[in-house]
């Protein structure tokens, strides 16, 4: 009886929150339900016919889970998914209640959860996880997570609880070492096309030490951060051979193409997302789908026909102007977004930075992101948000002339100003932190536009 009361209360609260325009109702209803019935999440997930799938890691959780959802749909499978990206246990609970009927019945093959790194063991304490996908591990919100070994330990704790099948990024040594007692599937990039090859870094930009002996890895190929082809010069420990891989990767400013190797099968993928980081997201989704027994042709179909999620490489037309919204939140992710941006010769740019709790209070990460890539950008760059002045200083030190940096702290005003300056043949790139993205969602709604999943 308490489960039913919890579900009714949560559904009514979600409707009320949306009706008064107070948000998406993606967290509070879950908190309310759990206070009425602490076991409601376990009760709902127990109805999944095939199991519970979790996606965790620093960057790419939302997009990877969205790509998995797309593949599952193309395979004719039903999934409940926290599509709005609320990835704490309260948000996950709210998403399942949203997918259930008023009696708490849920008709799905899989529950698919994007899970915050620190929340994975919390979720695993209540839910048996069939598989855990890990995208990458970078420094992110040090005020919350501490250093990378803490984040790795939390994720490992979550997957080891049930010895869940682990789907791991072979190119990230911080990820490849996880799940030693689990069935492991690895994915990675084998080669880039000639036009996508960037000048080789002298070494990785993040911590990359051998999991066996602690010696710093040598790299024969670096894609970005610590992701690449590595081996230990002391003990010989090396990057695992991927079960699923991408070859001949060609990255453009609005899409990527590559040859996807799934076991012994090969399919050509035309991914409607920019950036090498999204190729990794697609590989993670493909690797999980492969282990679920989904054919390669169906995997390709799901990747090619993917529809973007809330603020993750999301494209829309506003007042006749082409706009791309890409969340940024840490050095590695921001650097990859900027590297995609600079390939778009028609780009206008608005960067919006907040330092609320959900963004991470510490904005020193701005200095580790490679904004120097924008030094040759010829159009004005608008900076907005609570830390607009900090971002302006960062742009100055990145090499932009002072008269090319426009500070407009109020996001609504900044958006109107940059939209007015954007020509019909140009694309406006909006790079917000998380709470700026939520604010942007409300601004656009007031203008008559809706972001995906809202």
Q: Which residues are catalytic?
A: 362
How crowded is residue 228: how many other Cβ atoms within 10 Å of its Cβ? 23
**Torsions phi, psi for 314 (to 5 deg):** -85, 130
**DSSP string of 111-155?**
EEEE--GGGHHHHHTTS--SEEEE-------HHHH-SHHHHHHHH
Q: 268 burial class (0-12, 13-18, 19+ CB within 10 angstroms)?
A: exposed
Cα distances from 181 to residues 40, 54, 175, 240, 433, in angstroms, run 29, 17, 14, 16, 36
Parallel, antiparallel or unpaired: strands 131-134 and 218-224: unpaired
**Bridge partners, 346 (sequence order):** none
86 in Cβ contact with 119 (< 8 Å): no
**Torsions phi, psi for 214 (to 5 deg):** 90, 0
Closest to 137 (Cα-Cα) out of 332, 348, 336 = 332
Q: 45 burial class (0-12, 13-18, 19+ CB within 10 angstroms)?
A: buried
| Alpha-carbon span 17 to 15, nearest angstrom | 6
């Amino acid at each position: 009886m308490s489960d039913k009361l919890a579900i009714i209360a949560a559904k009514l609260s979600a409707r009320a929150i949306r009706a008064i325009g107070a948000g998406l109702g993606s967290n509070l209803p879950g908190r309310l339900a759990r206070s009425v019935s602490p076991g409601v999440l376990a009760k709902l997930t127990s109805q999944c016919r095939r199991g519970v799938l979790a996606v965790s890691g620093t960057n790419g959780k939302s997009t990877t889970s969205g790509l998995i959802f797309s593949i599952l749909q193309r395979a004719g499978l039903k999934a409940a998914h926290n599509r709005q990206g609320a990835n704490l246990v309260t948000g996950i609970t709210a998403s399942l209640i949203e997918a259930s009927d008023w009696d708490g019945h849920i008709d799905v093959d899989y529950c698919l959860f994007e899970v915050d790194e620190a929340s994975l063991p919390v979720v695993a304490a209540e839910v048996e996880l069939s598989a855990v996908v890990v995208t990458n591990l970078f420094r992110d919100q040090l005020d919350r997570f501490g250093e990378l070994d803490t984040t790795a330990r939390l994720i490992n704790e979550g997957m080891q609880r049930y010895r869940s099948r682990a789907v791991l990024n072979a190119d990230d040594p911080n990820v490849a070492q996880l799940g030693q007692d689990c069935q492991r599937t690895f994915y990675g990039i084998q080669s880039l096309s000639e036009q996508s090859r960037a000048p080789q870094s002298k070494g990785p930009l993040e911590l990359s030490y051998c999991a066996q002996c602690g010696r710093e890895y040598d790299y024969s190929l670096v894609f970005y951060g610590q992701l690449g082809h590595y081996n230990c010069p002391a003990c010989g420990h090396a990057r695992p051979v991927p079960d699923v891989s991408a070859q001949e990767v060609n990255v453009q400013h609005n899409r990527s193409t590559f040859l996807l190797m799934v076991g012994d099968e090969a399919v050509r993928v035309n991914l409607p997302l920019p950036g090498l980081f999204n190729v990794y997201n697609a590989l993670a989704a493909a690797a999980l789908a492969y282990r679920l027994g989904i054919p390669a042709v169906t995997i390709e179909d799901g990747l090619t026909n993917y529809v973007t999620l809330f603020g993750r490489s999301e494209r829309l037309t506003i007042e006749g102007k082409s706009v791309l919204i890409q969340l940024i939140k840490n050095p590695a992710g921001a650097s990859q977004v900027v590297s995609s941006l600079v390939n778009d010769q028609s780009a206008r740019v608005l960067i919006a930075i907040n330092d609320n709790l959900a963004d991470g209070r510490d904005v020193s990460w701005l200095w580790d992101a490679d904004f120097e890539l924008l030094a040759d950008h010829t159009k004005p760059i608008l900076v907005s948000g609570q830390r607009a002045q900090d971002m302006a200083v960062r742009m100055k030190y990145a090499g932009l002339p002072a008269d090319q940096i426009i500070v407009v702290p109020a996001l609504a005003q900044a958006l109107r100003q940059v939209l007015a300056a954007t020509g019909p043949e140009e694309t406006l790139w909006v790079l917000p932190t998380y709470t700026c993205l939520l604010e942007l969602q409300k601004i656009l709604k007031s203008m008559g536009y809706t972001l995906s999943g809202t």
